[in-house]
Structure 1
Amino acid sequence: MELYDYIQQSIQPPLENSLGRVYQDQYPELTNDSRLWLELFMITDSPDHRLSDQLMIIRATGAILVPDQQWGYVIQPVIDSTGQKGWQSQQQYEQERQYLVPYTQTLITALMDLRRGYEQKLIV
């Protein structure tokens, strides 16, 4: 396989919601759940952009979506003590996660909707 072909296969195209915002996964080290993150960004984009913007920061720094029976998905931080490919510590992640507290119920609903969409094969 040529390098160009490999790169083309591993790049996720940006998604655009009906408001014209374009979403890209900014964490190139992890692509297994890129499509899920892009969908989550769109689901959480209204009524304002603050929740989706905060989730983009969390993802770009380092986080994955893990299936969960109760919540649909949970956000799991990637911890890397060097800070190169994730959060330097769980404490650093917890501090940033505090910005999500006002949106807790919206986020829970979004994660559950995301899981339903995935199970119904609406999200590939």
Structure 2
Amino acid sequence: MMEIQRIKSAFDEILSEWQQPRLQTLQRDPNIVKMTEDLVLKVEAQRDPERWPVTDYTDDFKEYHPDDHYQWMWLFFHAPFYSAELADVLCFLRCNGSILVRDQIYGYRIQPVIGGHGWKTQQEYDDVKAPLTGYMNEVLALLKNLRLAEQQGNVIPAKAYRQGRLGER
């Protein structure tokens, strides 16, 4: 995967040249002009909700662990923007028995439930989560952003709150 600093540097150079042309080498090269136009069109197209990933991820483990249902749904919504495979693996982890546990450093961490309605063995969990090693930066970003979104009140919908009396559960 390309280093973010290299990408940023190239985009900064392109923007600078387009805003205030000095050498005009970027504007004269038809390949660079075409690639820039294609990139702009692609980014603009991605802003259109009609083009967003159409995937339906469900929380099949909610029945056994409802406490983190909305957090998983938040992950299922955001993960496909990184990768369909990443979203699929997260869904497999949850539906087979994983929970989200708050973490001071990472925001959240994914923890398997071994036994009962969860995974049969740790090895079974490890085998299914193996593809996530290629998405570690994305997973860490998702888990941190989930915690931030939760702190800002953007994870649990207001309709899920129930009015009650002090001391009542």
Provide the TM-score with structure 2 as the length reference. 0.58
- For the residue of structure 1 that corresponds to 2:100, the secondary structure is strand
Q: Contact 2:82 / 2:138 at 8 angstroms: preserved in 1?
A: no
- For the residue of structure 1 that corresponds to 2:80, the secondary structure is coil
Which residue pairs with 1:119 in the alignment? 151
| Larger RCO (CA under 8 A, 6+ residues apart) | 1
User: For 1:58-115, what per-residue CA distance to the aligned partner results, in whole angstroms no more than 9, with x for missing partners?
Assistant: 10000000000000000000000xxx51111112211221111111100000000000
Amino acid at match of 2:101: V
Aligned-partner Cα distance in 2 for 1:96–1:36: 20
Superposition deviation, residue 23 in structure 1: 2.8
- For the residue of structure 2 that corresponds to 1:67, the secondary structure is strand
Give runs of ≥4 in structure 1 deviating > 4 Å: none
User: Which piece of structure 1 moves more, 103-112 or 40-49?
Assistant: 40-49
Please point out which of 19, 25, 37 is paired with 2:53.
Answer: 19
Aligned-residue CA RMSD (Å): 1.3
Superposition deviation, residue 21 in structure 1: 2.6
- Aligned 1:17-96 pairs, distance under 5 A: 18-27=52-61, 28-80=63-115, 85-96=117-128
* Structure with greater helix percent: 2
* Structure with greater strand percent: 1
Long gaps (5+) in structure 2: 1-51, 157-169
Identity of aligned residues (%): 33
Superposition deviation, residue 22 in structure 1: 2.8
Aligned-partner Cα distance in 1 for 2:66–2:142: 20
User: Which piece of structure 1 moves more, 33-42 or 46-55?
Assistant: 46-55
Computing the radius of gyration over CA atoms, which structure comes out larger, 1 or 2?
2
Provide the TM-score with structure 1 as the length reference. 0.78
Q: How many residues align?
A: 104
